[in-house]
Amino acid sequence: MSIARYLRICAVPLLMAFGAPAQAEEDTIKIGILHSLSGTMAISETILKDLMLMEVADVNAHGGLLGKKIEPVVVDPASNWPLFAEKARELLTKDKVAAVFGCWTSVSRKSVLPVFEELNGLLFYPLEYEGEESSYNIFYGSSVPDNKAIPAVQYLMSKEGGEVKRFVLEGTDYVYPRTSNKIIRAYLKSKGVKDEDILENYTPFGFSDWQTEVAAIKKFGTTGKKTAVVSTVNGDANVPFYKELGNQGVKATDIPVIAFSVGEEELAGVDTKPLVGHLAAWSYFQSVNTPENKAFIAKWRAYTKNPKRVTNDPMESAYILFHMWVQAVQQGGSTNVDAVRQAMIGQKVKSPSGFEVVMGPNHHMAKPVMIGEIQADGQFSIVHKSKALPPNAWSPYVEANKGKVADWSWPWVCGGCSTPRFAAN
């Protein structure tokens, strides 16, 4: 353990007790917003930038944080993964932000992770992802395979989900789909599904010519065994993918597609009438009927001045993370990174979906999994909803993960070691 890390850890109780403001000389508290506003991922990420600006404006309108206004510093890494790291470094060193809210794809998160660990910054990441990670400097706001992908596959295999026997694992060619599908394969194997009943395929970001891929899906589904597609296709490639499904008549009654990266915002640019009945798995849908969600939607539409603007799962996760950070800063009386990090563990927020979400010592949150069917109006009808499921940072279905733990609570801090130990270098 480095001396610097040891001193930072040992200082946490004092920082939380006495406040020790890190930016006492500043008139504002700066936060970074690190989302692609251009390029292939802008279709998904721009809405999160807008959500963050709404929540910042709301806090500022109610007196700010620690008596100061929050100042958002918005940057555009333009769907360029190395540029994410460059922009993150600028936010931490040049703009001196107290925290960064951002990233979407796992490759963007992997790109910035060493920057946050080197500079001891805090990243609040709002997307469900492939797991197999737990960083001292990242708080993960959504689901991992253990409490999303696996329960979704279990649903497909159940009588309720159609008793699926064959699986197409269709994804964009990067870390999240490949790692998620490695975990899904291991789970399917444990349930007796044979390799010949699994078709796995990857296409590049921004892929648009889906005729061959969709034809292969149709052919794979003609053996007489119930077949489904588990889709980890990401970004704007989803628009031509879903259009081609409609063009080739791939109906949900024959070969249902369950998507892990498609929500209300992505469907806004698609004619959803031919897609009725296809599925998505998230921990939130706009159609959730709770008082909290009705208020969330009304607030969003009032802010955007658009009565038709949709909400989605990553927005809910970003909302939860931001409010947990605000509460942690208030609790510690400081934006100091080490004080906030410790105060984050155990923070509770009532989510728009109606669940009280708690930040765990592994920097992940227990969340429900919901299965929604696409409707003709681009919304989802919820056909299955679980209780809040605890997340494992490392999947128990991967043999190499046996014995790994993630526990960043004081004084034991560990991300990936087989037994708890004091802080890693």
pLDDT tens, 250-309?
A: 999 999 999 999 999 888 878 899 899 999 999 999 999 999 999 999 999 999 999 999
User: Exposure string (b/e) for 353-363, b if CB count within 10 Å is 16 or more?
Assistant: bebebebbbbb
Structure tokens at 267: 């469907």
Q: Which residues pair with 359 in a beta bridge?
A: 365
Q: Report whether pLDDT(89) > 90.
A: yes
pLDDT of residue 417: 67
- Tell me, yes or no, whether 399 lies in a domain: no
- Tell me, yes or no, whether 26 lies in a domain: yes
Q: What's the whole-number average pLDDT of the chain?
A: 91
pLDDT band for position 419 (50/70/90)? low
Amino acid 58 reads: D
Structure tokens at 78: 């333009």
pLDDT band for position 3 (50/70/90)? very low
Q: What is the pTM of this model?
A: 0.89
Q: How many domains does the chain have?
A: 1
Greater confidence (348 vs 18) lies with 348
- Tell me, yes or no, whether 371 lies in a domain: no
What digits encode the pLDDT tens for the residues 144-156?
999 999 999 999 9
Number of Cβ within 10 Å of residue 98's Cβ equals 25
Number of Cβ within 10 Å of residue 177's Cβ equals 28
Phi, psi of 67 (to 5 degrees): 80, 10
Which residue reads 């950070």 in tokens? 325
Q: 380-385 and 370-374 as β-strands: parallel, antiparallel, unpaired? A: antiparallel
Distance, in Å, from the CA atom of 50 to the CA atom of 309, rounded to the nearest integer, reads 11
- Tell me, yes or no, whether 328 lies in a domain: yes
pLDDT of residue 409: 83
pLDDT of residue 415: 76
- Tell me, yes or no, whether 234 lies in a domain: no
What digits encode the pLDDT tens for the residues 187-210?
999 999 999 999 999 999 999 999
Which residue reads 């500022």 in tokens? 60
CB contact set of 14 (below 8 Å; sequence gap of 6+): 20
Question: How much is the average pLDDT of 15-41?
Answer: 74
Above pLDDT 90, what percent of the chain? 84
- Tell me, yes or no, whether 217 lies in a domain: no
pLDDT of residue 17: 44
How far, in whole angstroms, is CA 217 from its chain's centroid?
27
pLDDT band for position 411 (50/70/90)? low
Distance, in Å, from the CA atom of 279 to the CA atom of 229, rounded to the nearest integer, reads 10
pLDDT band for position 20 (50/70/90)? very low
- Tell me, yes or no, whether 20 lies in a domain: yes
Distance, in Å, from the CA atom of 205 to the CA atom of 187, rounded to the nearest integer, reads 26
What digits encode the pLDDT tens for the residues 116-139?
999 999 999 999 999 999 999 999
Which residue reads 């936010």 in tokens? 91
Distance, in Å, from the CA atom of 137 to the CA atom of 120, rounded to the nearest integer, reads 7
Q: Which of 43-47, 349-353, 393-397 has the lowest mean pLDDT?
A: 393-397
What digits encode the pLDDT tens for the residues 30-83?
999 999 999 999 999 999 999 999 999 999 999 999 999 999 999 999 999 999
- Tell me, yes or no, whether 125 lies in a domain: yes
pLDDT band for position 425 (50/70/90)? very low
CB contact set of 292 (below 8 Å; sequence gap of 6+): 350, 351, 352, 353, 354
Q: Which residues span the domain enclosing 26?
A: 3-142+291-360
pLDDT band for position 405 (50/70/90)? confident
What CATH number corresponds to the domain at position 130? Answer: 3.40.50.2300
Number of Cβ within 10 Å of residue 93's Cβ equals 12
Q: 28-34 and 69-75 as β-strands: parallel, antiparallel, unpaired? A: parallel
Amino acid 345 reads: I
Q: Report whether pLDDT(168) > 70.
A: yes
Distance, in Å, from the CA atom of 235 to the CA atom of 238, rounded to the nearest integer, reads 6
Q: Report whether pLDDT(11) > 60.
A: no
What digits encode the pLDDT tens for the residues 303-341?
999 999 999 999 999 999 999 999 999 999 999 999 999
pLDDT of residue 23: 40
